[in-house]
Amino acid sequence: MDELTIIIPGIATILVLLVYYLSQPRLPIRINRAFLGILIAELFVMLTEGAAIYVNVRFQTSNMRELLYAANTLFLLTHIARSYLFFIFSSMTVKVYITKRSLRWLVRTPMIITTALLLSTYQFGTVFSIDRKFGYTDGPLYWITPACLLVYVAISVCIIISKRQRISEPELYGALGFNAILIIGSVLRIYAPHSLTVNLFTFIAVIIGYLSFENPGIYLSDRGGVFNKRAMKAVLEECIGNNSTYRALGFVLRGYMEERRIYGSSQIDRGITMISYYLKNKYPKHLIFYLRNGHFVIFDKEALNIFRIREELSERFRDTWKTRDTDLFLSVSFVKIGAESNIKSADVVIDNLIIALEKIGGSAITDNEMLDLDNTNEIDEVVKIKGALEYAVDNDLVEVFLQPIISASTGQTIGAEALARIRDEEGKIISPAQFIPIAEKSGYINMLGEQVFTKTCQFVNSNSFSKTGIKFVNVNLSPIQCMRSDLSERFIAIMRKYKAEPERIHLEITEQSMGDFDAIVKQVDNLKRAGFRFSLDDFGSGYSNLTRLKYYPFFNVKLDMDVVRDYCSNGGPFVPNLMNALKQMGYTITAEGIETKEMADKMKAIGCDYLQGYLYSKPLPTEEFVLKYSRIF
């Protein structure tokens, strides 16, 4: 009985692990099935070992030779099966799936040989025999079962090492550690076959495998127990690897960042948790993923009634989500994808989906529209622009176009705005409205902005600049650039390098970025101290706030094109009054988007200092601008 008391805690622990594992949400992927197989085999090894010991202890008293044979054979058979499962699991940790039939039989050979030898034991006493006096006795090939495990571990280690680049470093250590423990266990079994601590090693290996690859936490999002992006990647990889079909409906909470600002992070987090639970309960048969930033995906390998689900969700989102403290009004936009998309990389499928979700999440697509990733050029378009952007930035090919700024009082060109341009493969210009948002999301805006700034510095220190007689060039600064803690340092260094006078450069920041002003104020202050002046761009397009304006270092306000256009067509007292207030606060004012003489006259009449627009000129390549505006002395 003493021996049994060692086994019982092991059985209890593996049972707890098994029950816990089964009770957690699990992905239907192969590595999980292999691990479940290991857990069950581990349990059977312990149970059959217990049974064999139990019978052996009682052997002397009653004659149970056949039973003892059966118990030990069963125990060693489960042992062999477990060795094979350890190997299958190990190869899956590096995403090696042995699907070829011939190869499958080849890797089963050690298992088959060991099994055959074991089954011959009854007749020939090869692995063990049952002595009438002592019960279980080792045969000449007693070491064959641990040797079988050793062979599998050796193949596993070779596979893991050769495919190590497929997994992260901690995963690699997990996979190798797990096998190292198995080596110790099997060597011990060969040299000390009756030590019961051997099971302890396989048990430790199971725990390492669990913590490194099977811990449900690694595949679960932290909101509401749905799966995360890593889980989606694992499932997609398997679908793509098997060439099997899949369908998915993604949706995004529209204006997610804005909503976070309005409701507060914790409220939105609660909302996301509620949505996750709702989806899990409503669609228990489908997989639900939450990919962060308000992006959800409902996924299935087979049938997914995308249109019905979309209808149901649209309906649900018409209602509010009641958290403890508030009612959240959330709206959603949808994207659908399917295996037809022909993309052979899970990363690319997920990237495209996220790009699409970000795009529709920030745009005005209505509930009833849905972006279809299989039938759309939009994503290709984004990917193309991203490619052109990276190419231009990496090869210093970002071009600077200049658009004149006119003094309203003299009618003379007094300055210019520098506007970035890049080209596609055919040399056609891509509009900043398309590439700036992409550059901001990918971080490329920093290098792009620096190139525009560098080229502007070179220009304002050149003869060409003097020839045009203009006094300043405006450079646009994205709030993303200002969030970098080294922005001012780098800009000041560039300015010094090209000996550009800072008074000749005005930096434009859009009104939208005032929401983030606390985050950017330090860089703006440093730049101001270095002598740069600041313009507020696109004023009137967002939540214009006159009271707060005085805390910011602007000297000039640029009225947004839409505000100018609206006033010029519809009149009304708002714009003139706004202008009065701004003038009293000491700002000079620029009107953007002046396309006709009437517009220019109207804006001049209400006191605009500067005018900019197609009436005077479209943005021109720098050389053309210089040719057009050079003064002939």
- CA distances to 17, 227, 258, 576 from 267, in Å: 35, 21, 13, 41
Residue from the set 508, 567, 590, 613 that interacts with Mg ion by CB under 5 A: 508
Residue from the set 51, 452, 557, 563 that interacts with ligand C2E by CB under 6 A: 452
Under rule CB under 6 A, residue 593 binds ligand C2E: yes
452 binds, among Mg ion, ligand C2E, none (CB under 5 to 8 A by kind): ligand C2E
Amino acid at 470: I
419 binds, among Mg ion, ligand C2E, none (CB under 5 to 8 A by kind): ligand C2E
Under rule CB under 6 A, residue 614 binds ligand C2E: yes
155, 122 contact by CB (below 8 A): no
HSE on the CB side for 389, CA within 13 Å? 26
* Residue 565: CB minimum distance to ligand C2E, A: 9
Dist CA 113 CA 305 (whole Å): 49
CB atoms within 10 A of CB 254: 21
Dist CA 83 CA 74 (whole Å): 14
DSSP assignment of 423-473: E-TTSPEEPHHHHHHHHHHHSTHHHHHHHHHHHHHHHHTSHHHHHHT--EE
| Interface positions, 563-592, toward ligand C2E (CB under 6 A) | 592
Residue from the set 152, 491, 613, 622 that interacts with ligand C2E by CB under 6 A: 613
Q: Is 577 exposed, middle or buried (0-12, 13-18, 19+ CB in 10 A)?
A: exposed
Amino acid at 528: K
Q: Looking at beta carbons only, is 230 or 565 nearer to ligand C2E?
A: 565
Residues paired with 423 in a beta bridge = 429
Residue from the set 148, 226, 420, 495 that interacts with ligand C2E by CB under 6 A: 420
* Residue 594: CB minimum distance to ligand C2E, A: 6
**Binding segment (CB under 5 A) for Mg ion, from list 229-237, 268-276, 422-430, 476-484:** 476-484
E-only strand ranges, 540-618:
554-559, 588-591, 610-611
Q: Show Cβ contacts of residue 611 under 8 Å, excluding neighbours closer than 6 positions.
A: 405, 406, 408, 590, 591, 594, 600, 603, 604
**Binding segment (CB under 5 A) for Mg ion, from list 63-71, 147-155, 430-438, 504-512:** 504-512
Under rule CB under 6 A, residue 250 binds ligand C2E: no
Torsion angle of alpha carbons 256, 261, 266, 270, nearest 10°? -30
Under rule CB under 6 A, residue 259 binds ligand C2E: no
Q: Show Cβ contacts of residue 621 under 8 Å, excluding neighbours closer than 6 positions.
A: 399, 401, 402
**Binding segment (CB under 6 A) for ligand C2E, from list 10-18, 58-66, 138-146, 430-438:** 430-438
- CA distances to 208, 284, 325, 545 from 275, in Å: 34, 14, 16, 35
Q: Looking at beta carbons only, is 182 or 536 nearer to Mg ion?
A: 536
Tell me the two tokens of residue 190: 């060969």
Under rule CB under 6 A, residue 478 binds ligand C2E: yes
* Residue 479: CB minimum distance to ligand C2E, A: 9
574 binds, among ligand C2E, Mg ion, none (CB under 5 to 8 A by kind): none
Under rule CB under 5 A, residue 590 binds Mg ion: no
* Residue 476: CB minimum distance to Mg ion, A: 4
* Residue 532: CB minimum distance to ligand C2E, A: 15
Under rule CB under 5 A, residue 538 binds Mg ion: yes
* Residue 581: CB minimum distance to Mg ion, A: 20
> What's the Rg (C-alpha) of the chain?
35
Task: List the x/- string, 524-553, binding to ligand C2E by CB under 6 A.
Answer: -------------xx---------------
Dist CA 108 CA 215 (whole Å): 28
| Interface positions, 218-247, toward ligand C2E (CB under 6 A) | none
**Binding segment (CB under 6 A) for ligand C2E, from list 406-414, 470-478, 495-503, 520-528:** 470-478
Identify the three-state secondary structure at position 302.
Answer: coil
Q: Looking at beta carbons only, is 339 or 420 nearer to ligand C2E?
A: 420
* Residue 588: CB minimum distance to Mg ion, A: 15
Dist CA 267 CA 100 (whole Å): 51
Under rule CB under 5 A, residue 511 binds Mg ion: no
Tell me the two tokens of residue 433: 């409205």
**Which candidate, 569, 617, 618, 614, places its Cα nearest to that of 595?**
614
**Binding segment (CB under 6 A) for ligand C2E, from list 21-29, 110-118, 302-310, 472-480:** 472-480
DSSP-assigned letter for residue 373 = T
Dist CA 83 CA 350 (whole Å): 36
Residue from the set 352, 476, 481, 523 that interacts with Mg ion by CB under 5 A: 476
Q: Looking at beta carbons only, is 175 or 568 nearer to ligand C2E?
A: 568
Q: Return residues touching Mg ion (CB under 5 A).
A: 476, 508, 537-538, 592
Q: Which residues bind ligand C2E (CB under 6 A)?
A: 403, 419-420, 431-433, 436, 449, 452, 476-478, 508, 537-538, 592-595, 612-614, 619
